[in-house]
Structure formats: C-alpha cells, structure tokens
Copies of this chain bind each other. A is one copy, B any other.
Amino acid sequence: MLGDKTRLAIVKSVFEQECCVCEFVAIFDMSQPAVSQHLRKLKDHGIVKERRSGQWIYYSMNTDYPYYAFVQQLVNHLPSQREGMSNLQQDSCCEN
C-alpha cells in the first residue's frame, strides 16, 4: 500500500496537516481522478479519514489506524511536504 510513491507522499502530508483533495492535485501535479483513487485506497485501508466541508473534502491521518505509530516512524524518515503545501496557497481551490 505504502510502496506507491504518491500514496506515501499523501500520508506524509496528512501526517503534517489535514489536506484538501485539490491540494494534492496541485502538489503532485496529477489528475484529479488519479488522486481520488489513491485517497480511496488509503481510506479503504483505514489509513486516512475524510471530512466534508461544503464542496471540499479534507483528508487527515486516522489516528485509530492499527499501524499508526509504525507509519509515523516511517514518514519521519521522509522530507517534509509542508514547503510544497504552503507554496501553492492561492493556486489551489480550497481556502487553505
């Protein structure tokens, strides 16, 4: 599941902060359906959870995930995604 580069980056991101779908589309420069499909898989595995707010859907880490601590250790070895996140502010769709 986390062998996929994009999904691993998504998980790293949601570990740092709740993210909107549109932010992933912008950051990873991927099509919206491609992003949605990765999010779906992560959600189905119980790794992330979603929260709807109006038109937007935000994803965050599911702290109840059985391997939460393990994933945390894992992503601690990856470079932060914050920079990329904060760089797009205006560009992306949601208010974040």
Copies in the complex: 2
SS of A interface (majority): loop
A4 CA / B2 CA spacing, docked (Å): 11
Say yes or no: is A73 at the interface (Cβ < 8 Å to chain B): yes
Residues in B neighbouring A73, C-beta threshold 8 A: 73
Output the nearest chain B residue to A67 by Cβ-Cβ distance: B77
Q: Produce 1/0 per residue, A55-90, CB < 8 A to B.
A: 000000000000100100110010000000000000
A73 CA / B2 CA spacing, docked (Å): 16
Complex interface residues of chain A between 1 and 22 (CB less than 8 A to chain B) = 2-4
Please give the residue numbers on chain A whose beta carbons come within 8 Å of chain B beta carbons, in ascending order.
2-4, 67, 70, 73-74, 77
